[in-house]
Structure 1
Amino acid sequence: MLLLQAREKMMERFRPLISARGLTEQQWRIIRALHEHGPVEPRTLSDICTISSSSMAGVLARMEALELVTKERFVKDQRRVLVSMTKLSVELVDAITRDLEAEYEALEQKVGRDVVGRVYAAVDDLLAGLETNDPTRSA
């Protein structure tokens, strides 16, 4: 519950910046993931963004209709698709990133840069510990 409460408090700060540009949180996560990782297959994108595959299919279809992403089939395997950013989504990343950076600065001013740093470090440690100790994941 504590992690969910912290996430929601953070999103209260950032959600308006994303929605002001006409994006949903899921759409922003997808665009940001593509920006950070480059073109990827939908299943990989689902894993990166923590969006279920069934939801991802619908979100990507809507994003393609809005010209936020393109989907291209692999030449050697027509069943596989590669999702990429469009010029519009690149422009949105640039604009939203500036807004988010300003909000992160305001957050650091409010709670302290050291607190933010400790939270990042603790979450990184938590995720790393869960990853290495997860018996369902193969090494």
Structure 2
Amino acid sequence: MSDRDHEALSGGLAGRQGGARHRGRLRDISRSLPIALLRTREAVMRQFRPALRSVDLTEQQWRVLRALDSVPEIDATGLAMATFLLPPSLSRILRDLEGRRLISRRPDPADLRAWLISLTPEGRKTIDAAGVWVETIYAAMTDRIGQERLGVLMQLLRDIEQDLDAPLADHGGGTPDLRGE
């Protein structure tokens, strides 16, 4: 993003053009928590993408393999929750990973409508191959950020997730009608 684009989005031009700041409704986009988290996520993932490309994996496929690496096997619902993937996306990813023989699926004896998913030996080899790069990247990021700051960040993220796990209290009048009726 150029300096001018950043200035425009952070409110520099909004004030001159009667933007959101003067309406009094929305904070500047530069102060938006969701946007800040997305910018940070992008900065982090930019570091990892070359390692994932080296083993021909997408970010979502890597999330699935990493989640499967931590359990002997899991059903699709649990895997969707662990990876924050929507079931239709997860189904497509599982089909692709199974086609590459990185995962296997078998019927769940307790519920024949469900499948249990696990890593194959080839899937473990893929994780091991990418893992060398990934841990090197983590070490470089830790050097740049600092072990203490990274620890504080991780704790803050866990705390915020826990604090926001339940719906926020109603702040006057329930859910607004955004349809303009």
Q: Would you tell me which structure has more helix in proportion to its own residues?
A: 1
Pair 1:115-2:149 in alignment: yes
Give the Å deviation of 1:134: 3.8
CA RMSD, aligned part only? 1.4
Partner SS for 2:74: coil
For 1:105 and 1:61, locate their aligned partners in 2 and report how far apart those are by CA, in whole Å. Answer: 33
TM-score (normalised: structure 2):
0.70
Equivalent position of 1:19 in the other structure: 53
Q: 2:102 aligned with 1:68, yes or no?
A: yes
Pairing partner for 1:7 from 22, 27, 41: 41
Offset from partner CA, 1:77-96 (integer Å, 9 cap, x none):
32110011000111112222
* Cα distance per residue 1:47-92 (max 9 Å; x no partner): 1101100111111111111101101012353211001100011111
Note closer, same or farther for the CA distance 1:81–1:116 as it changes in structure 2 (3 Å cut): same
Note closer, same or farther for the CA distance 1:3–1:77 as it changes in structure 2 (3 Å cut). same
CA distance in 1, matches of 2:167, 2:68: 26
Identity %: 28
The one-letter code sitting in structure 2 at the alignment partner of 1:50 is F
Amino acid at match of 1:37: V
**Unaligned runs of at least 5 residues, structure 1:** none
Number of aligned positions between the proteins: 134
Pick which of 71-80 and 57-66 moved more.
71-80
Q: State the 4+ residue runs in structure 1 displaced beyond 3 angstroms.
A: none
